[in-house]
Structure 1
């Protein structure tokens, strides 16, 4: 097929953004890593062996040591209006109160809602005064703030931060951007009342008090599941989520016209919530929590639904669930997207002997991303090879690096394309022929097994997901040798991947081995008995 252009045209020209700095930040901090997120779910007494609610939560963050979470408790000697706390659970160092936990009446857990709360505004600068910008036909003064950054072993860096009504000018962060871009973000727009919310929900005694406390939870928006000793369960998504006069936040917009301003936030009572649903359970896993008919825009970039779908399958599979069942669900490593890929790989035939041997392990794979599984390793290597095969030839090198790092997008794109055998993305733009879905799948499978063969030898029985997918728990001082031998733990073979309930998202390294970057930092299950 003939090569196709990979350029796009924006509605508003801001130059030709390059992603080199973002790629460097991502490499350092893993901001695009798949698997960052959480699971939580709650069932009422109609579906439990105890006759009372059960609630589970496991947050997933980047692997680090020591953990960002620690257990904490606040107990007043005598609980009273003046000292209302009898609460225990998990929190961050330096944060007063308990973020995930329970008191003697209620329990709660959180996952990230993931709303779109950042917009970029293109500003028009006054040619006669670089510290003024246009807004609705008038020049307004920027707020100027001088920052001094002290650098060890080097001279100080002096930085002047310029802020418009929309936020700080961020243009210097983006290579290739020619227009001033101001970042408007709920986290920096107003003073936060988050700590007030934490303390209020810590002291709450019932659903109404819990929701009242969450009215102060402004950023970041979370999916709260709730249960109490009276047998009630509930869900609430709090947070400041903007209402836009125009636009959807997906691209920079003119800041000088006033046509794209934030007109307010979604009213609290119109944010997603549910109390004692007829289904007798609630599940969230960073997935879409509102129907398409919801009257407000929360985001266009929800996390993939696979973890939530699998949790719901297991919750519905038994009439009555026990605390042991919750533990089993939290440890589940069944991969919905990879099982789908398996169904399209199994009918293919291969003349290559290595591929012919490997397909036998794919055919008998049980869908579990277990560390001793050959089938899991082969199919995940195939998926990664397919991402490269389909997208690296159509995107610029920088854009592809960004897209490849965002496993959430690539996984869902492959999932959609598998059901569209005639989609033009199956065609290879670098050849004269018209390739089919099966053609590209065969190439990806062969590339995947060649990669595993090069790493571990040409005997597929010796391949396993745990050899490919390892986790290393690195201490901040573990970068200094020989302290790394004393303080770091790993590499350890790990189960799961970024789309299993046991969430173990990874990053493909330079040699194409996978390094686990995220994991459940804690697992808790609370029985309201």
Structure 2
């Protein structure tokens, strides 16, 4: 078997605006206000950190000193319900802070994925290893000597409480969300088959394709499920209820379109070097069409018909000036003859 991967920009990170208050009982001296967290504010955890920096220009190797006072915080402030994510900006006077929640803050198991794949014999083994790819968000392509091919988008994609309820409370996930409630990741007790302590999109709802009828598939970081084709990534539904959300945007798809065009232009099996040429082609169909139009316009200008063809909305058009100049040239040539 063989496999390859490329980036899949699944949304596994949320940013929250938190309301913070002073709290003498908190290890970090602060708490975040969360209206449904055990009926009380949640303590912020302070993790002390110290750094040394090298003195530049003194001619001494590894001359390490502490940075100037106030230039580096003495501790990183952690919000436990953010998957132990940090506060990255805080305004104590206003009682506000910005926190980050990311699936990769958990103890993820990507090494188990590759350990399993190094011993895999078939598609079932590959899928078992894929179960451990908890973060990183990748597209994986698979092929084996039995003729199987497959595509999988891999990661643990968290379920947001408002989206799972079928609505968007406040701003959608690709903006800064409300940390005081309504936009939380749905909690889940620790499970043996996943890394993060939150509910996730099941594997059978993740974009995937096994042995497609066409005998091939294409992915170039583009939208694998078509959820953003109508510019609304939040209007699809999950089979069991809730909004089906993967991400707000992907690669525009021009490269995937070019690869698809090249494969369709010559059906049938291809050798590795032919596929390499396809992968190296970086000129989408639209670019080549516009290049031909520009070349045609340049030829007309060189032939004495300036402005005959102009690009408008990707089409050649005849302008009134071009038509009159062409007519004048034709009349002159007839008179001269």
Aligned to 2:32: 133
Q: In the alignment, is the contact (CA less than 8 A) between 2:51 and 2:66 conserved in 1?
A: no
Query: Number of aligned pairs?
Result: 249
- Name which of 41, 47, 54 aligns with 1:145: 47
1:155 shift after superposition? 2.5
SS in 1 for 2:146: coil
Within the candidate set 147, 155, 175, 1:251 is matched to: 175
Which structure has more relative contact order (CA 8 Å, sep 6+)? It is 1
Instruction: Work out the CA distance in 1 between the residues paired with 2:246 and 2:212.
Output: 22
Residues 48-447 of structure 1: pairs in structure 2 closer than 5 A: 106-127=1-22, 131-136=30-35, 138-153=40-55, 154-156=65-67, 157-164=72-79, 165-166=81-82, 167-171=85-89, 179-188=96-105, 190-246=106-162, 247=168, 248-257=172-181, 259-263=182-186, 264-292=199-227, 293=236, 295=238, 296-320=244-268, 321-339=270-288, 342=291
- The DSSP-based 3-state class of the residue aligned with 1:196 is helix
Residue 338 of structure 1 deviates from its aligned partner by 3.2
Q: Distance in 1 between matches of 2:51 and 2:95?
A: 25
Change (3 A) 1:345 1:199: same
**Offset from partner CA, 1:45-92 (integer Å, 9 cap, x none):** xxxxxxxxxxxxxxxxxxxxxxxxxxxxxxxxxxxxxxxxxxxxxxxx
Q: How does 1:504-515 map to 2 (within 5 A)?
A: none
- SS of the equivalent of 2:151 reads strand
Shift of 1:269: 2.3
Which one has a larger percent helix, Structure 1 or Structure 2?
A: 1
Residues 118 and 186, structure 1, Cα contact 8 Å, conserved in 2:
yes
Q: Offset of 1:341 from its aligned partner?
A: 5.1
* Structure 1 residue 158, shift from structure 2 partner: 4.8
Q: Cα distance, 1:344 vs. partner?
A: 7.6
Query: 1:212 aligns to what SS in structure 2?
Result: helix
- Post-superposition offset of 1:108: 0.6
Q: Which has the larger radius of gyration?
A: 2
Aligned residues: CA RMSD: 3.2
1:149–1:159 CA contact under 8 A, matched in 2: no
- TM-score (normalizing by structure 1): 0.43
Q: Contact conserved, 2:113 with 2:130, CA < 8 A, in 1?
A: yes
CA 1:348–1:324 in structure 2 vs 1: closer, same or farther (change >3 Å)?
closer
- Once residues 292 and 19 of structure 2 are traced to their aligned partners in structure 1, the CA distance between those partners, rounded to angstroms, is 54
Q: What TM-score do you get using the length of structure 2 for normalisation?
A: 0.66
**1:418 Cα shift?**
5.2
- Report how far residue 185 of structure 1 moved: 0.7
Change (3 A) 1:276 1:294: farther
Q: How far off its partner does 1:112 sit? A: 1.0
Q: Which runs of 5+ in 2 are unaligned?
A: 56-64, 163-167, 187-198, 228-235, 239-243, 320-337
Structure 1 unaligned segments of length 5 or more: list them.
1-105, 350-355, 364-416, 420-437, 439-529
The 3 A distance-change label for structure 1 pair 184 and 340 is farther
Q: Whole-Å Cα distance in 1 between the matches of residues 263 and 297 of structure 2?
A: 35
1:294 and 1:201 map into 2 onto residues whose CA distance is 33
Q: Tell me the distance in 1 between the aligned counterparts of 2:313 and 2:158.
A: 35
Helix, strand or coil: the match of 2:218?
strand
Tell me how far apart the structure 1 counterparts of residues 119 and 177 of structure 2 sit (CA, whole Å): 43
Q: Aligned-pair distance for 1:339?
A: 3.7
Query: In the alignment, which residue of structure 2 is the partner of 1:512?
Result: none
How far has the Cα of 1:322 moved from its partner? Answer: 2.3
Deviation at 1:333, TM superposition (A): 3.3
Deviation at 1:213, TM superposition (A): 0.8
Is the Cα–Cα contact under 8 Å of residues 123 and 181 in structure 1 kept in the other structure?
A: yes
